[in-house]
Amino acid sequence: MRQSPRKISLAEWDTRYAEMKKEGLPEPAYGGRLSRHVNNGDYRLKRLSFDNSPASLDLWNFLLTEDERLHESRKAGRKIVGTMKDLGTVPVMAYAFPNITAFYPDGAWWIPCVMEMSAGLLRVADSLGVDESFCPVRAMLGAFVTEAHFPIPDLLVCSVGATCDDFSAIAQRLEAMGHAIVWWEMPHRRTPLTGEPSVRMPGGLEAPVDQVAFVRGQLAKIRHVLEELAGAALDDDQLSAAIRVANEARDLLERLRRLVFTAKRCPLPATELLIAEMLTIHFCSDRDECLRVLGGLLAEVELRVAAGEGLLDADAARIFWVNPVADVRALTLFEECGGRLCGTDNMFLHALDRIPSTGDPLECLAMSALSDPMVGSATDRALRICSDAKTFGAEGIVVSRIPGASHCALEGTIIADVVRSRSDLPVVELEVPPVSDAFSSSLSTRMQALVESIKQRRRP
Ligand code: SF4
């Protein structure tokens, strides 16, 4: 059933799937042919290429069946919590309750891409006065109106404060439409003053003790709200256990990322790695299955690396990628242009870093939340990018701008300035719209230019 790693089309996956079924492919309940998702409107799949391993098939199927899982959870009597904006914090706590399923309505961000605009979510957002001057997260408004993508949650929680203007405005619009939201505040993370008590956080940043205590207080409020919804108290032992499980997922992902970024030959395509990172934020609505899927992917990658197998050209340019792409097809294009991932910052590194696990669990979670790269300065973020790029041996950096995103107007310049002051790595900025076909030649030109300049720099 195992084959040498290769990128294949959706049609090739159908043939491979039929062969694997004959050979007795064991499948999870959500398994099946990948192409069946096109019948549900996921047309973008026809324009992508995929890793050919059974582990990747599980990964894609798991991702693309999340809506079904949420509806099943509701039918089974579980409470559905929509957690918004914090990416990786409240779900850790929510999954400590046996009768709560948490998910990110923000994930609607990718629906315009995956469904090639056919769902009409951006049109709905337009009609509500949230036009293209906002980032693709405005699709979330459309998803709440159409109710065609996820069940309306029993509870919505959202972090505000040091968040982007786009999300704050859109969440406020959602509340005005009648969806009650429990808000919790995230302060802008600041550098401790000289002599001020501070604490070292995941990712190596320092934050004032006072700020950690403040976030802890905010999360205590959310814990109480979740307890009321679940009808049961959550004690520290249960929360610590939930942090341990979250760290299991993060450990699997850390090993996976390290191998993908540093192996001699690239053992996994960029799109599959992006999905693996996304799963870790909220377990894709099934914590146990998320661990199994990540474990399967890691096992496949470990086998490939041990066998010296890989995808892409052996001399692919090793590039650090900043920000998620609104159109995942751009990552396929990136690899066709001769690049491979060598580090990522998809705006949620705090959801990938291990959560501290000693002491008060709520404080541990607060430290994790406060290490969000998007709640501090762009310079802090750029310094982490420089450090990770060095660790993984990146030869260049792509800053992928998100159309309409308020933070993208300046951050590319700041990141490029910091990178240039600390290294001689070339930096390229791109903008990737949700369906980027019309821009593919200009995107290719910029990516090829970066790849060529990297290869030129390798010459003695
Ligand atoms: S502006 Fe950026 S951080 Fe804010 S919702 Fe959009 S992509 Fe996310």
Residue 389 burial (CB count, 10 A)? 25
CATH T-level fold of 71-110+124-238: Rossmann fold (3.40.50)
CA–CA separation, 95 vs 242, rounded Å? 7
Helix (H) or strand (E) holding 427: strand 427-431
Pairing of strands 182-186, 206-208: unpaired
The CB of 166 under 6 Å from ligand 1? The reply is yes
CA–CA separation, 425 vs 88, rounded Å? 30
For ligand 1, pick from 402, 408, 411, 431 the residue to mutate: most ligand atoms within 8 Å of CB.
402
> In ligand 1, which atom is closest to the CA atom of 135?
6
Per-residue pLDDT for the chain (460 aa), expressed as one digit of tens each? 778 999 999 999 999 999 999 999 999 999 999 999 999 999 999 999 999 999 999 999 999 999 999 999 999 999 999 999 999 999 999 999 999 999 999 999 999 999 998 989 999 999 999 999 999 999 999 999 999 999 999 999 999 998 888 899 999 999 999 999 999 999 999 999 999 999 999 999 999 999 999 999 999 999 999 999 999 999 999 999 999 999 999 999 999 999 999 999 999 999 999 999 999 999 999 999 999 999 999 999 999 999 999 999 889 999 999 999 999 999 999 999 999 999 999 999 999 999 999 999 999 999 999 999 999 999 999 999 999 999 999 999 999 999 989 888 888 889 999 999 999 999 999 999 999 999 999 999 999 999 999 999 998 7
> In ligand 1, which atom is closest to the CA atom of 324?
7
The CB of 402 under 6 Å from ligand 1? The reply is yes
| Cα–ligand 1 centroid distance for 434 (angstroms) | 14
The CB of 407 under 6 Å from ligand 1? The reply is yes
The CB of 135 under 6 Å from ligand 1? The reply is yes
Nearest by Cα to 309 from 265, 342, 339 = 265
> In ligand 1, which atom is closest to the CA atom of 170?
5
Q: Find tokens 């049961």 and name the residue.
A: 232
Instruction: Locate the domains of the chain by residue range.
Output: 71-110+124-238
What pTM value is reported for the model? 0.96
- What's the token pair of residue 149? 């993508």
Question: Residue 81: beta bridge partners?
Answer: 102, 155
CA–CA separation, 407 vs 399, rounded Å? 12
Q: Tell how far CA 123 is from the center of its chain.
A: 25
Yes or no: say if 106 and 140 are a contact pair by the CB < 8 Å rule: yes
Degrees, nearest 5: CA angle 357-360-361: 55
The CB of 300 under 6 Å from ligand 1? The reply is no
Question: Residue 400: beta bridge partners?
Answer: 430
> In ligand 1, which atom is closest to the CA atom of 406?
1
Protein residue with least CA distance to atom 3, ligand 1: 164
